Every structure is written in structure tokens, then in C-alpha cells.
Amino acid sequence: MNILVCVKRVPETGGRVTLTADERDIDTRYLGFTVSPHEECAAEEAVRLVEANGGSSTVLTLGPEAAADQLRAAMAIGIDRAILLETDGQDWDPVSTAAAIVEAIRAESATGTEYDLLLFGNEAADSGDFQVGIRVALALGLPCISGVKSLEIKAGMATARREAGGGWEVFEVPLPAVVAVREGINLPRYPSVPGRLRARKKEIQRSVPTGPGSHLAGPEKIRLRLPAETEGHVQILGNGAEAAPAVVDVLERIGVLAR
Amino acid sequence: MILAFVEHDAGIPTRSSLEALTFARRLAASNGMPLAAVLFGAGGDSAAAALGAYGVSAAHLVTHPALDAYAPAAWGRSVAQVAAAAMPSIVLAAGTDRGQEVLAYAAAMAGAPMAANCIELRPGGSGEPFELTRQRWGGSLLEDARLDGPVRFVTIAEHATAPEVVAASLAVSVQAFEPTLSDSDLRVQVVGRVAPEAGKISLADARVVVGGGRGVGGSEAFSELEELAGLLHGAVGVSRVVTSAGWRPHSQQVGQTGTRIAPEIYIACGISGAIQHIVGCKAAKAIMVINTDRDAPIMSRAAYAVIGDLHTVVPAISAEIRRRQAQ
Ligand SMILES: Cc1cc2nc3c(=O)[nH]c(=O)nc-3n(C[C@H](O)[C@H](O)[C@H](O)COP(=O)(O)OP(=O)(O)OC[C@H]3O[C@@H](n4cnc5c(N)ncnc54)[C@H](O)[C@@H]3O)c2cc1C
Ligand SMILES: Nc1ncnc2c1ncn2[C@@H]1O[C@H](COP(=O)(O)O)[C@@H](O)[C@H]1O
């Protein structure tokens, strides 16, 4: 089976975030980059499905030239091919992103590559738009299941589960299909050294996307803001084991100590 | 008009939907717009009747012979068709799994953009742009954005508005709506359910959560945290470093790509406080930190802290609880 995985390059922020002077982006001068944990799991799922069923996996991203790093990271865990839809580094809105991905899938189809399964993250780590997978599915006339934390493929059918009210909802669709997954569906492997070396030598197929055309796109970013902080004052209860009585006093006071 | 997609549980509107409705009603009131709802499924009529207390004056009850179980594309198609008939200026839903999904379909089918997890809408006057503020990075960053289109599709971030009834409840005029659905709209449907495990304290609902991060050092040492959580009838939560290393299952992860918790107290042991972890625990009433580093970023979020090695501090707390309980 042929699987396409879509990933988005995002900054790897830690405990604090600073913005650029124009307030349109996160200041990434001192940051590394990664993809959403959901998308790491999507890539792992693709590798496992191809290991089990044969076929080939492809990773695709829309982003700047530097996003080649994220494509290589996916190839280092076993994804076979990579496609970069190169932008000038500006954020694309979800409507335009979906249109560019659809255009790329149609171009693949025109050269004889059809996908049985399109894997997405449930939402991008940074923009959290919750829609690119659904828009791609609608444009291609494919069924789509979101929020998936367990996926089984058998005899051309996908059975997917997602969490609902403490239990699970089960969905079933015939392939080809779009599935948007969540972290927890699997535990991604770490790339091996030979895997990394292989990925470094692989070709990346590049093209420049044309964008949304006549569609109404958006939302259109004006600026980013940090939420107002309610920086409280921390009460230090003590050092090491000696602090235990003071800790239990607090637990007692707020009423969580069962007697 | 504002049209809200309302979720309900066997006839009882969900809390997230009531939050979104409260948000919508305030916006509707300040812009002189009526508020309408669209509902699906068995019990939709009794849920609709309950919405008058939240300022809803009209409800569209979607009924279709082929619609029984939850079917995201079909529900999205129905919302788009109700919107095409009722001509609202805003269509909104709660930022839940179903809310995001149904609105994304409805917007895409209507050829319109959608903004997810909004916390503020600024419709503007005629000729002025429609602006909004929405959450990014799970809520650790905000974005001001412009949204275009004859109808604005938005979801409202969960936990951002407390549900509030109106002073004078409205009479709800309930109308059935039969959508036109194609086979492809009905391809994806819930075909089965697995009930929640009985008797387990869920991480999302626990009154006490004992959190463990990289500082715990390995899977065995989690027994120390489990003991403390057990004594407090709470649950164990962990950081992503812990689940990525395979020390604990992902179902225990707190954060942007894990579970959101809201306990009375969150005792965070050996966790630095990355923004993606904080968005998952910031609804805790209080955070108590146990960390060797008094400058860890999580300190700025904490009400209480113990400076020290969690492997000595946590067992000492458990011993002290036992000692007092034995008295
Ligand atoms: C898109 C995205 C989504 C993410 N989603 C999540 C998420 O959902 N949840 C999540 O948790 N993370 C998430 N992360 C990862 C996050 O950025 C951090 O990497 C992670 O939370 C760090 O985990 P930590 O605090 O356990 O480890 P560290 O940052 O390494 O901190 C370890 C802490 O332990 C302390 N310590 C060490 N030894 C001891 C000891 N013996 N006693 C006491 N203290 C000790 C140290 O002082 C330090 O403060 C996400 C990242 C990205 C990019
Ligand atoms: N720039 C991008 N390049 C490739 N895939 C993307 C991009 N943006 C979003 N996606 C995919 O669409 C999913 C949902 O994104 P969103 O709708 O923006 O939250 C992500 O998890 C990715 O799988």
C-alpha cells in the first residue's frame, strides 16, 4: 500500500516564548525545529503499515527550504520518499495549505502514484487549525476520520478508534481514505545512525505551490500576542525531606487529605 | 443571526456547548442579533427546549432517515445547509472534537474559511473587517486575525467562558430540518463504542494529580509517585519526555498533545514547565513543585515549592501522610 504523511515544521519552544519585533512570529534565533508529536506518530504509523503490508511511504511538507530537515527526520525512521512544497517562509493559512497539498497529490496521481492512505496530524502544533486533513479529503472526494488513536488496516478497510467520554468511538471506512491521528497511537522509534545516514543521501522532490486560487482563504494573521500572565508568588516550603510536614499541612488545608 | 451547533448527551446540552452559547449570547446581545441553535440525534428536542435559558430563540432539529449515529461529514453538510437557509452572519461551535470537525466540514462545504479556538470576536461595523483572537499552541500563544466571507465559521475555545443563564428565559421555536445528503456524506459513521473503564479515577477528573517528568529518571521510580497519588486518591500524570522514553503510557501525558487536567492541586515532580506541558495543567487550582532547580520555569506558575531531590522528598511526604493517618 502507498501512504502519504503530511507534516509541518514548527519551532521547538521550551519554558518561555519571545516574539519577533513585528510580532508576527516566534523569535526562533535560539530555537531548534520539530514537527507536532501527532505528526511524528503519523510518520511512525506509515512506516509500520508499510513494514506489515508492503508498499511505500512518502512524507510531504509545505514550508521553507529548511523544512527539508523535518523530511529527513521522517526518512531516518524509515519513510521512503519526500516531497517539499517550498514557500518563502511565511505561514500559509489552512485553506491555502490544503489547496497546495491537494495540488501536489493530483500531480503525483498524474505521474502514476496513487495513495491508499493519507495520514495527517489531528492539528498542527503551532497554528492548531483543526481542518487541513478534512479540507484535503473533501477536495479529493475521500472519507476522513479525525482524532484517531488506534488504526487497523485489513482487506482494504480501515478501522479507527478515537477517545470519547472516557471510552472509545469506532469508525470504519474503505480505502483510499484520510486519517488524522493523535499522539499515543504508537510510540515512535528513535532514528538509527544508519537510518540517519541513508536519509541524508536521499533526494527530496521539490516544487513551488501556486496557492489557493479563487478560494476564500484565511484566517489571516495580523499579529501574535502572549497571554497575560498571572505570575503568582511561590511559597518555598523547604528543602528536601524536611519539607514533608509543611507539604502535608498544605494538603490538609486545601482539603485533599483523606482521613 | 448567530447559529450555534449544540452538542448534547441524551438530551442534556454539554458543558462545552453551554460555554460556547454563553459566549455567543453576549456577542449577539451587544450586536442586536438573535441566537439560534442546530442540534442532532435522539433527545435533541429536549436539549433544544433547555436552550431558552441560554438566550436561544430558535432551534433547528436535523432529522434524516439515514442519520442515526454520529457522522461527521453528514453533520457538517447539514449545518452548512441550515446556514444556507437561515443566513446567519456567524456559525459557531465549541472547540471539542466534534465541534472542530463538524465546523471544518461545514466551512469547507460552504467554501469559507474557519477559525478554530477563538476567545474573542470583533465583528466590526459595516465595511470594517471582522477580527478575532484565537489560541495557538494549545493556548500558550494568542493570534489576532481577520476572517472573511459572507458567513464566519468559528469554534470557541473550551474552558474560556463559564456557562451563564439569562435573567428571562426565552421560548424556543423548534423546527425540524431535513438535509439533502449524498452517499459520500454518510461514508464515515460511528459503527461501535467501547464504554469507559468503570471505577478508574480519570486523569482529567482527578482532584489530585501527582506529576512526574524527566527528573523521575526511569520507569521503576514511578512507584514512589504512585504511592503518593494512591494516598491522596489521585492520579499520576507525566510529561512527554516520560512517555517518549516509554517509562509510562501516553494516556498519562499531561499537556498540549496529552490530557488537560484541572485538579485542586497538581504536584509536579522533576518537571521543568515547558509551555506545552503548562497548557495542560494551568487549570489546576494550585501547583506544587518538587524540583532540584529553584530557577526551573515551572516555579513562576507554582503556589508552593520544595527544593530537593524528588526521590527523597516524595517518599517523605507519603510517610508523613501515613504517620498522620495512623494517629
Ligand atoms: C508541539 C509539541 C507538543 C508537546 N506536547 C507536550 C505535552 O503534551 N506534554 C508535555 O509534557 N510535553 C510536551 N512537549 C514537550 C515539552 O516541550 C518538553 O520537552 C517536556 O515537557 C519536558 O519534560 P520534562 O519537564 O519532564 O523534562 P525536562 O525539561 O528535562 O525537565 C526535567 C526537570 O527535572 C528536574 N530534576 C531533575 N532531576 C531531579 C530530581 N532528582 N528531583 C527533582 N527534580 C529533578 C530538573 O531540574 C528539570 O527542571 C511538546 C513539545 C512540542 C514541540
Ligand atoms: N504546512 C504544512 N505542510 C504539510 N502538512 C501540513 C501543513 N500544515 C498542516 N499540515 C497537516 O495538517 C494537519 C492539521 O493541520 P491544521 O489544520 O493546520 O491544524 C497537520 O497535523 C499536518 O498533518
pLDDT tens track for B66-76: 998 999 999 99
Q: What is the rounded average pLDDT of the residues B218-245?
A: 97
pLDDT of residue B209 exceeding 70, the answer is yes
**Range scoring the smallest mean pLDDT among A68-82, A170-184, A210-224, B251-265:** A210-224
pLDDT of residue A34 exceeding 90, the answer is yes
Find the radius of gyration of the CA atoms of chain A.
22
Q: Is A87 in the pocket of ligand 2 (CB under 6 A)?
A: no
- Does A245 contact B320 at a Cβ distance shorter than 8 Å? yes
Cβ-contact B267, B290 below 8 angstroms: yes
Chain B residue with CA closest to A184: the answer is B250
Task: Say if B33 is an interface residue toward chain A (CB within 8 Å).
Answer: no
pLDDT of residue B81 exceeding 70, the answer is yes
Mean pLDDT of chain A: 95
CA of B50 to the centre of ligand 1 (A): 44
- Does A15 contact B275 at a Cβ distance shorter than 8 Å? yes
Question: Which of B136, B308, B319 has its CB closest to that of A240?
Answer: B308
Q: What is the rounded average pLDDT of the residues B25-45?
A: 96
Model confidence at A71, in pLDDT bands (50, 70, 90)? very high
Distance CA A59, CA A40 (A): 11
**Sheet with B141-146, side-by-side order of all strands:** A220-225, B141-146, B131-136, B114-122, B152-156, B90-94, B2-5, B35-40, B58-62, B173-177
Distance CA B25, CA B165 (A): 10
Q: Is A36 in the pocket of ligand 1 (CB under 6 A)?
A: yes
Give me the pLDDT at residue B125, please. Answer: 82
| Count of residues making up chain B | 327
Ligand of minimum distance to the alpha carbon of A183? 1
Interface test with B, best of A236, A242, A249, A252 (most B CBs within 10 A): A236
Chain A residue with CA closest to B303: the answer is A234
pLDDT of residue B258 exceeding 70, the answer is yes
Model confidence at B202, in pLDDT bands (50, 70, 90)? confident
Tell me which amino acid residue B74 is.
A
Give me the pLDDT at residue B273, please. Answer: 96
Task: Say if B134 is an interface residue toward chain A (CB within 8 Å).
Answer: yes
Model confidence at A212, in pLDDT bands (50, 70, 90)? low
Which residues in chain B have their CB less than 8 angstroms from residue A130's CB?
A: 95, 100-101, 104, 116-117, 155
Distance CA B304, CA B313 (A): 14
Task: Say if B129 is an interface residue toward chain A (CB within 8 Å).
Answer: no
Model confidence at A214, in pLDDT bands (50, 70, 90)? low
Distance CA B53, CA B37 (A): 13
- Residues 6 or more apart whose Cβ sits within 8 Å of residue B77: B105, B106, B109, B179, B181, B182, B185
| Protein residue closest via CA to atom 41 of ligand 1 | B309
Task: Say if B133 is an interface residue toward chain A (CB within 8 Å).
Answer: yes
Task: Calculate the alpha carbon distances from B82 to B2, B39, B169 in Å.
Answer: 12, 11, 24
End-to-end CA distance of chain A: 58
Mean pLDDT of chain B: 96
Taking each helix axis as running N to C, give the angle between helix A244-253 and helix B310-326, from 0 to 180 degrees, rounded to the nearest 10: 60
What is the CB-side half-sphere exposure of residue A228 using CA atoms within 13 A?
1
Ligand of minimum distance to the alpha carbon of B218? 1
pLDDT tens track for B149-192: 889 999 999 999 999 999 999 999 999 999 999 999 999 999 99
The residue with cell 452538542 is B7
pTM of the predicted model as reported, rounded to 2 decimal places: 0.96
- Residues 6 or more apart whose Cβ sits within 8 Å of residue A18: A26, A27
Ligand 1 pocket mutation, candidates B271, B282, B288, criterion most atoms within 8 A of CB: B271
- Does A171 contact B324 at a Cβ distance shorter than 8 Å? no
Q: Is A39 in the pocket of ligand 2 (CB under 6 A)?
A: yes
Cβ burial, residue B162 (10 Å; 0-12/13-18/19+): exposed
Nearest Cα to Cα of residue B39 among B161, B179, B185: B179
pLDDT tens track for A96-126: 999 999 999 999 999 999 999 999 999 999 9
Interface test with B, best of A16, A20, A131 (most B CBs within 10 A): A131
- Residues 6 or more apart whose Cβ sits within 8 Å of residue A113: A2, A58
Residue A11: alpha-carbon gap to chain centroid? 12
End-to-end CA distance of chain B: 63
pLDDT tens track for B99-135: 999 999 999 999 999 999 999 999 988 888 999 999 9
